[in-house]
Amino acid sequence: MDIIDDLKYRGLINQVSDEEGLREALKKPITFYCGFDPTANSLHAGNLLMIVIMMRLQKAGHHPIALVGGGTGMIGDPSGRSTERQLNTKEVVEGYAESLKNQLDRFLHFDQGNATFVNNAEWLNSLSAIEFLRDVGKYFTLNYMLSKDSVQTRLEAGISFTEFSYMLLQAYDYLNLYELKNCRMQMGGSDQWGNITAGLELIRKRGHEEQAFALTFPLITKSDGTKFGKSMGGAIWLDSEKTTPYEWYQFWYNASDDDVINFLKYFTFLSKSEIEALANEVESHPEARKAQKTLAREMTVLVHGEAALKQAEHISQALFSGDISQLNGEEIRQGFKDVPTYQASSKDSVKLIDLIVEAGIVPSKRQAREDITNGAIYVNGSRRNDLDEVLTQNDRIDNEYMVIRRGKKKYTLIQF
């Protein structure tokens, strides 16, 4: 199937300005772009959909331009927001833009000739207000701008002229890339349709004859109505320091049966036949979670690599079996990132009964004695029921960590 049919099969086309025209244009390599606003120093799971679609088009022979909005990021896009965005300083935006460039390079490989990185600060920061009003603003009526969803949804609560002008700046980005790099398609989430089509309007009104295109994909929601890309701890980031590879693996592994096949279509490069086989597994053997395991593996390799996948699977297996002692220090840091942590003294030995009281694992020595006697206390996955037990450096993992479990699920990380 061609790239449009593949995107349709995967549910990745929401709107397209001229489907037949785009199909014809895509018979030869074209240049296209997608924008990312630098609002943080890392992209997140929601942004990954845009990256993967860019990679699909790249694999089909087309030329992606990844645009980071170092200029527009100084203003803020009103799309999908109910309130004004908090503005960052120029230095913060520049730092975020550089971080995003490095992340995008891991997927699109800018130094290999087929993909290009641009920062719209290159042309927007030197654009004067008079130039902007004459060369861009005069081509748009207020009625046209007010008709866009991104503006209409903000009218009642109020929208500043700053955010109101964002649409025109994005339109200018498209015109600039069209003229300088022969970029003929802009893609983005469905909430970007108004901004993208404003670019088409500007290209047309500036007298360009070669057709340009707009393509959007649907914004992802989970079957239970919760927002995609969020967990109990907040956003799921591509940066391994913000979201560890283990957390990333678990995010995908915990996809529901109702979501997992759609996620396989959206985010992986598995073929239609491979995805359909996994859909049959969900129907016939849901308890095996084969589709979820495949999704978690594919996504972890894509974002963090093979070594990180092996580490994430090792942590998962150890936590499932309860044998914590097989983990190393780095795996402990990942697997127990969000559990309560107690900073213990570095002395060579400590009585178990004293440690679990000091760490707040039990409220009193009486309760400690009762729990140890009843076999409810585990150290690194091993049950300890000796009231006189003394823990030494031999009980520490990498001489730094000890994991104490009370009952079935209450974990505490002891750090020395």
> Binding site annotation covers 230?
yes
Listed in sequence order, the residues at least 6 apart from 274 whose beta carbon sits closer than 8 Å to its beta carbon are: none
pLDDT of residue 80: 61
Whether 150 shows a pLDDT value over 80: the answer reads no
Whether 79 shows a pLDDT value over 80: the answer reads no
pLDDT of residue 151: 81
pLDDT of residue 328: 93
> Binding site annotation covers 181?
no
pLDDT of residue 175: 97
Q: CA-CA distances (angstroms) from residue 309 to 76, 218, 220, 257, 296? A: 36, 29, 25, 22, 9
Are 282 and 322 within 8 A, CB to CB?
A: no
Instruction: Return the percentage of the chain with pLDDT > 70, whole number.
Output: 97
Are 119 and 68 within 8 A, CB to CB?
A: yes
- Say which CATH architecture domain 341-415 belongs to: Roll (3.10)
Model-level pTM? Answer: 0.88
Tell me how many degrees the CA angle 110-115-119 measures, rounded to the nearest 5. Answer: 75
| 345 token code pair | 């003294």
Tell me how many degrees the CA angle 9-14-17 measures, rounded to the nearest 5. Answer: 115
Class of domain 230-321: mainly alpha
DSSP structural state of residue 88: P
State the burial class of residue 337 (Cβ atoms within 10 Å of its Cβ: 0-12, 13-18, 19+): middle
pLDDT of residue 234: 80
Buried/exposed 405-416: b ≥16 CB within 10 Å, e otherwise: bbeeeebbbbeb
> Binding site annotation covers 166?
yes
Between these two residues, 399 and 227, which has the higher pLDDT value? 399
Q: CA-CA distances (angstroms) from residue 220 to 9, 14, 189, 229, 230? A: 16, 11, 9, 9, 12
Between these two residues, 230 and 99, which has the higher pLDDT value? 99
Q: What is the pLDDT of residues 204-226, one digit of tens each?
A: 999 998 999 999 999 898 888 77
Q: CA-CA distances (angstroms) from residue 59 to 53, 62, 109, 331? A: 10, 7, 12, 34
DSSP structural state of residue 364: S
The fold for domain 3-217 equals Rossmann fold (3.40.50)
Tell me how many degrees the CA angle 399-404-409 measures, rounded to the nearest 5. Answer: 140
The predicted model gives 145-163 an average pLDDT of 80
State the burial class of residue 148 (Cβ atoms within 10 Å of its Cβ: 0-12, 13-18, 19+): middle
pLDDT band for position 82 (cuts 50, 70, 90)? low
Polymer length of the chain: 416
The predicted model gives 93-107 an average pLDDT of 96
Intervals of CATH 1.10.240.10 along the chain: 230-321
Intervals of CATH 3.40.50.620 along the chain: 3-217
Buried/exposed 249-273: b ≥16 CB within 10 Å, e otherwise: bbbbbebeeebbbbbbbbbbebeee
Dmax over CA atoms of the chain, in Å, equals 87
Q: What is the pLDDT of residues 330-386, one digit of tens each?
A: 999 999 988 999 999 878 889 999 999 999 999 999 999 999 999 999 999 999 999
pLDDT band for position 310 (cuts 50, 70, 90)? very high
Instruction: Look over the chain and give the mean of its residue pLDDT values, rounded to a whole number.
Output: 92
Alpha carbons 393 and 399: distance in angstroms, whole number: 6
pLDDT of residue 233: 64
